[in-house]
Amino acid sequence: MLTKDEDFLRLVLVEGFPPRVVAVQNAQVPVVKLAEFLLARLPQIQAFLGPQSEFGLLQLRLP
């Protein structure tokens, strides 16, 4: 799940996972800039969503 909504962050912190959540902070930007940001971090996101089972939250911050 990809979100910029803090409710999902609280859900993962309280309930654990699944679901795995990718949270994007400072995402009030044009869609093109957000897409570029996410594509640049695609390997990191894929590794997070892969077979690892240690973490349920990946938090990314736009500059």
Closest CA to 11 of 58, 56, 61, 60: 56
**Residue ranges of the chain whose pLDDT lies below 70:** 1-5, 8, 12, 16-17
Residue 53: its pLDDT value, please? 75
- The answer to whether 62 and 24 have CB atoms below 8 angstroms apart is yes
pLDDT for the residue 4: 63
Domain ranges of the chain: 2-61
What does the alpha-carbon distance between residue 40 and residue 53 come to, in Å, rounded to a whole number?
Answer: 23
Single-letter amino acid code for the residue at 31: V
Give the phi and the psi of residue 41 in degrees, each rounded to 5: -105, 15
Which pLDDT score, from 0 to 100, does residue 36 have?
94
Contacts of 16 (CB under 8 A, 6+ apart): 56
Q: What is the pLDDT of residue 6?
A: 72
